[in-house]
Structure formats: structure tokens, C-alpha cells
Structure 1
Amino acid sequence: MSNLLISRSADIPDPLRVARARSLPNLGPRLLFLSGGSALNDIARRLKLYSHNSMHLITPFDSGGSSQVLRQAFDMPAVGDLRSRLMALADETELGQPDIFRLFSYRFPKDADEAAQEEEFRALLSGEHHLMRAITQPMRRLILAQLRAFAEHRPHGFDLARASTGNLILAGGYLTHDRALEPVLFLMSKMVDVRGTVRAIVDDNLGLGAELQDGQIVLGQRDLTGKELAPITAPIRQLFLTRNGQRLPAASVLLPKRNRRLIERADLICYPPGSLYTSVLANLLPAGAGRAIAARNVPKIYLPSLGHDPECLGMTLPDQVAALLACLRADAGEDCPAEALLNAVICDAGAIPLEQRQAVEARFSLPCLPLALTRSEHPDRYDPDPLCETLISLI
């Protein structure tokens, strides 16, 4: 597979493959992304032009923001990143469901007083809020059923400031469907005509933890990302899953069969940009993930983040590749060859120094392909169009 990618690199993007995908996106390839957070949303939004069959396995381990408020209230997985990816993949044309999209994307004001927040919430529940009135029946009735389930179970003192309406509806659906995410994710996907598949990597209320190289143990995704709190002070040695703050044995959390089947159907597997540990490697922690990826003979691409990642303290690109392979081999086996898990690293030509790209090729015998994938005004972010065209061209 690596030699095939190298032979194609001179033809990336491939105009014929790109034109074929854009003409028939409903028949587009099944690109699988293992991600979390919002780093991939702009790319996912553009990907709709090329394929309606992309697949997204998302980490439900977020311990910050409004997702954490819901987790504490209902002992449920984090849904914020799942909702945001559903919205990124929704049909935003007038042929889709723009009124539902606007409702699911709405957030309660941050600075409004409690009385005003509660008044607006009551208007939503009654169906009199302008966002709810805009939705026709029977869809409005279906959405209200989920929102009213949330209201019924809402604990006293629940703060609505900055709460996402879509998250509240997801939480209500989770409670309605016997505390399972998959049914309500499927329902929301249909409501907004999602152009792809979005699932949680596991349907369980788990957390993340990490052992640092200085022996320190850090618990919680929010405490690791360095975005809401101070960044970690030593490199990460090992990432692990937790339940109620207690470390779980590696084999105790299984990759669900439905997600293993997504991997088995993928035409390309992508480890995309985002926080390396809490967004990408977190998806590889359930038992069976590494083995399922190793068994699939398709292109497997790592797209490193171009901006600063506080989780990658002191790490070069070869170090990041090593961390990715180590996490995969923890499940696939230490003797699993690198090319069974990763076929190429693709990055922007101007973002990664030449010596680091050469070190990846020398250390892992994997191609590191430097392409023109950013705009001059945003050198720390991938330009969605050439990136989508590159991935399409590799299939």
C-alpha cells in the first residue's frame, strides 16, 4: 500500500477522481475518520460535496463546557462533539431541513439572567418559540418529545447558560431510548439529512486519564488539552480510559460490533487533525480497534495538526507517529508492522520541517508526503478543498 501511495503522490489531487466524486457524491467513497472535537468540522462540511458516505467515530469523553454539565446531570456520555459533527454533515441547502438545523445549532445566551433563560426554555417546551414554530408537524412533535423528556429529568438548578438546544434534545432522546446514544443519533441524523454516518466510539459514560513521563496522573479530557486549564507540564507516557475516576483495564472496554463493521467497510482510514491524545488516540483505546484497523487493506493516512497542540509537549512529527503506532499496537500486537496500521503521513509542505519529514521516512519506512494544503492567511489550518481532494484521490 505504501508504494501505491508513493506512485500516486505525483497525481494528487487526481482531477478525474475528484470530478467523479463531485458529480455523484451520493455514490462517494467511505472515508472513515477517528476524531473528536471541532478540528475536523470545516473539513467535514466541505466533504459533503465529494461524498455522502463518510463515516465518523467520535470520542464521547469531553469533560468541559456544556457537555460536562449534561454528563454530571444525567450520568451520560458527552454529546457536544457528536452534535457538532452531525451539524457539519447536515444538508444545509433549502432541500434539507434548515429550520431544524437552526434549532439544533442554537445556544442559550451566556449573559441573560436566570428568569430570561427559563422563559425562553418554557417557550421552546410549549412550541411557541420562533425556532420551534418554524418546524412543521410531525417533526416538531417528535423533537418536542425529546426536549420534554429532558425537562422531565432535568435536575434542580440546571444552568441553561450557553446550553446547546441540540445537546438538550440529544440528552432527552438518550433518556427516552433506555440510556442509549445510537437510536437518538440515528434519529437526529434523519432529521437534518446528515450526509454520512456519525457514531460515538463507545456508548458509555467514560473518561480519559493519562500517565505523564514524570509519573504524574492526570484525569479528565479537560485537564489534558491545555485549552481551558493550564497545559500539562510533562509529556504523556500512556493514555487510558476511566470510570468514575478509576483507571479501567485495557481489555475491559470493547469496540462495539457496529463500529467494527464501519472499519471493515472503510475505503480509507484517516487519523485526522485535532488534539492527538484526547481526540485521535482516545478513539483507539477500546479493545478491538487496532486489530480491526490492521485487518483492513485500504489506505491509512495520518494528517498531523499544523497548529500548536498542548498535548504534544516537546514532540516532533516522528514522536507523534510513534505515539500513534504504539497506541494501535497495544491492541493489534507489538509485532504488527507499521504499514498495516499506517500507510502514509500527509502534511502541508510549508508546515513541517524537511528534517522531520525525512525522519519519519527513515524511522518507520513510511512515506511522508508534503503537499500544498493550507492558505497563506491560515498556515495553521488545512484548507478543506485541497485536503478533501487529496483524500478522494487516494482511493
Structure 2
Amino acid sequence: MSDPKFVVIGGGTGISVLLRGMKRFTDDITAIVTMADDGGSSGMLRRDYGMLPPGDVRNCLVALANAEPSLKNLLQYRFQEGNLKDQNMGNLIITALTDIYGGFAEGVKEAAEVLKITGRVLPVTEESIALIGHYTDGASIRGESAIPRYAYENDASITSIELAPRAPRANGDCIEEILSADLLVLGPGSLYTSLIPNLLVPEVARALNESPAPLVYVANMMEQHGETEGMGLIDHLDALKSHGLMRPVTCILANDSKTDPELLEKYARKEGVRPIYLTTEERNLLAARGVDVEEGAFMATGGELIRHDGLAVAQRLLSLCDRYREIHCKERRTAL
């Protein structure tokens, strides 16, 4: 069999960790990245230059880069003082390339060439979009960075997310990649502000729903402050469905390894969040829905933050891809 084609959909730092692991096993990787970010350096560039947000794209480019470490370090450099304080060098470079080559997608493509990346990094849309969050208290808040902040400051839960404009055009390359994938991967990442915004681009949701490729949901290992406190993985799947994912998820990848109790206590004290583990009831409900469950030690060890082990997740995804391709081949032989 040829090398499998992976398409990873998300945003934030979550998928960049996964991409670093995946590039060890295959050259055929496409990252489709949300364009809803409006915080930090990306937010400054959106306001000052009318740019699409480059931050999540930059992280994916660096994760897949095969350039010298000094060049990758340059793209991640953040200014500490002066007029450029808090601005990121990589974001500025992508802004310049966008201006030089006449479009955001073209600028990202040129940055990919400079970094000699494995695979492709694609913005999900080239239209300027904003997120609007709706809450249990009846409020509606605009802006990706403001959505979780309102939730935890007002003790409100997110009920739904929408885009403004409501139906932006998809980047056509994304649709082609989704429909030709061998394995579709959603996550890891913030459920409401990194994953769901991609589903709200109608052509992307349609392509995901029509694709014959298996769809794997890489679950977060921790609840997220202001987004998913108190939610189990069944709730995650229900939220994805209510925002346009009409096809069933083929498989959930869930962490079952434990970590330092002191680190968990730090998260609980600082953010009020807990680890996400599948319960026996959830396993039974997932089985009833026909969803495969793959649990494993997917947590990176050491460090001050809880993060996925990109290599461990990538190895399991590769194994799943082989398994599903074998099942598909058997089904075709049986049909013949």
C-alpha cells in the first residue's frame, strides 16, 4: 500500500504538537487551520493590517518544518519591549509574504517553501471571520478570545457558536484534501474555539460528511477553562453534531494515563479544570453508537503543562489507518 494521506483539522497549539509526531511517519500530511483567532499577536495584526490571523498557521508550519533550527527559532521569536512588544516575528514574516504575494494563502505557501515543510498547511477560509458565542444566561459575545473569558467570568456555559459572516467560502484546496484523505483527524484543540469553527464553514462540513475516510476525534486530556468544564466526551460529540458534523465519528482517541497529582492540583486551583477520562457508561454509550474507542498513554511526561505526546498519538493514528484500510479492502473483496 502507498503511504496514507492524513488530514488534520483544528487550531491552537494542539494540532502543532500532533504534527511534529506525524511527520516522523509520513510525508502526506495536510493541516487545515481555523481562521477565527483574534487574540495576542494575531489579534494585533488583524486590527492593524486587516490580516487573517497567522498564529495558528505559523505554529503548524514550524511543527512541519525541515529548515535549520535557527530559522524555526526566528519564526517563534517574540519581542519583549518597544513598539513591537508581544509581537511575533513569524507572524510579521507571514504578514509581509501575504503583502508580497497578493494573498494570505499565497503567503503561507511561500513560507512553507522557505521552511521546507513536510506536507501542507492550509487556512480553512480566506475570508475574515469572527466567532460569536451564545451562553446559558442568554448573552452573546463576539470574538474568539472573549468567548471563554466571558464564560468563566460570569459562570455561564457556552450553548452554541456561530460565525460572522455565517457562511464564509472555504479554501478550495481544503475540500480537495478532505475528499482525498485516507484518515481524517479532528483535534486535539479547544472544542468551541479551535475545532467547531472549521465545521461552521459550510463546504468544509459538507466535505467531512461526504468523505468515505474514517474520522478520528483526538480528545483533549483536560477540561478547558471557560469552554468544557463538566463536559464528558459524549458531550463533545454532541456539540460537534449540533454544529454541523452529521456523520458519525469513527473512533475516539482518549488518554488513560495518569500524571503528577501536584500538577493536577495546580490546574484545579488555577483554572478549576479536571482531567478527562472515559467512564464505563460513556464506553457503553459509544459502543451503542458504533464509535470505536482507543485509549492509551497519550500524555507527554515532564514539564509544567499537560500536553499530548505527539509521537504516541501519531503512532496510534498510523496503526488505526492501517487497520481501517485493511477492513475496507476486505469489504471490497467480499463485495466482489
TM-score (normalised: structure 1): 0.71
**AA at the equivalent of 1:176:** I
**AA at the equivalent of 1:216:** A
Distance 2:256 2:16 in 1: 22
Q: Is the 8 A contact 2:97 2:111 kept in 1?
A: no
Residue from 99, 114, 118 that aligns with 1:195: 118
Aligned to 2:191: 276
Q: What is the DSSP-based 3-state SS (H/G/I as helix, E as strand, rest coil) of the residue aligned with 1:237? A: strand
Distance 1:206 1:301 in 2: 26
Q: What is the DSSP-based 3-state SS (H/G/I as helix, E as strand, rest coil) of the residue aligned with 1:187? A: helix
Q: Is the 8 A contact 2:255 2:296 kept in 1?
A: yes
Q: Unaligned stretches of 5+ in structure 1?
A: 1-19, 21-26, 115-158, 243-247, 330-335
Q: Is the 8 A contact 1:270 1:303 kept in 2?
A: yes
Provide Cα deviations, 1:93-141, integer angstroms capped at 9, x if missing partner: xxx3444333322222x2x3x3xxxxxxxxxxxxxxxxxxxxxxxxxxx
Q: Is the 8 A contact 1:269 1:298 kept in 2?
A: yes
Residue from 312, 337, 351 that aligns with 2:228: 312
Residue from 152, 155, 176 that aligns with 1:233: 155
Aligned to 2:294: 369
Provide Cα deviations, 1:308-356, integer angstroms capped at 9, x if missing partner: 2121133221111111122224xxxxxx5xxx34111121234514235
Aligned to 1:101: 72
**Does 286-295 or 183-192 show the bigger shift?**
286-295
CA spacing shift, 1:374–1:356, aligned 2, 3 Å? farther
Distance 2:101 2:6 in 1: 29
Distance 1:266 1:386 in 2: 21
* Cα shift at 1:230: 4.6
Structure showing greater relative contact order (alpha-carbon pairs closer than 8 Å, 6 or more residues apart)? 1
What RMSD over aligned residues (CA atoms) do the two structures have, in Å?
Answer: 2.3
1:201-216 counterparts in 2 under 5 A? 201-216=124-139
Q: Is the 8 A contact 1:317 1:360 kept in 2?
A: no
Q: Is the 8 A contact 2:21 2:312 kept in 1?
A: no
Aligned to 2:272: none
1:144-183 counterparts in 2 under 5 A? 159-178=83-102, 180-183=103-106
Q: What is the DSSP-based 3-state SS (H/G/I as helix, E as strand, rest coil) of the residue aligned with 2:128? A: coil
* Cα shift at 1:264: 1.0
Are 2:40 and 1:65 aligned? yes
Provide Cα deviations, 1:167-196, integer angstroms capped at 9, x if missing partner: 111112222333x21111110001011111
Distance 1:366 1:300 in 2: 10
**AA at the equivalent of 2:315:** E
CA spacing shift, 1:356–1:176, aligned 2, 3 Å? farther
Provide Cα deviations, 1:37-93, integer angstroms capped at 9, x if missing partner: 1122222112211112211111121111111111110112111111111011101xx
Aligned to 1:321: 237
Aligned to 1:346: 253
* Cα shift at 1:254: 2.4
Q: What is the DSSP-based 3-state SS (H/G/I as helix, E as strand, rest coil) of the residue aligned with 2:185? A: strand
Q: Unaligned stretches of 5+ in structure 2?
A: 258-275, 322-336
Distance 1:203 1:254 in 2: 8
Are 2:20 and 1:45 aligned? yes
TM-score (normalised: structure 2): 0.82
CA spacing shift, 1:356–1:171, aligned 2, 3 Å? farther
1:130-145 counterparts in 2 under 5 A? none
Q: Identity of paired residues, percent?
A: 24
Residue from 319, 325, 329 that aligns with 1:393: 319
Aligned to 2:326: none
CA spacing shift, 1:177–1:73, aligned 2, 3 Å? same
Aligned to 1:267: 182
**AA at the equivalent of 2:96:** G
Distance 2:96 2:151 in 1: 30
CA spacing shift, 1:231–1:266, aligned 2, 3 Å? farther
Q: Is the 8 A contact 1:29 1:53 kept in 2?
A: yes
Are 2:213 and 1:298 aligned? yes
**AA at the equivalent of 1:65:** G
Residue from 375, 383, 394 that aligns with 2:309: 383
Distance 1:51 1:62 in 2: 28
Length, aligned pairs only: 301
Bigger radius of gyration, 1 or 2?
1
Q: Is the 8 A contact 2:126 2:170 kept in 1?
A: no
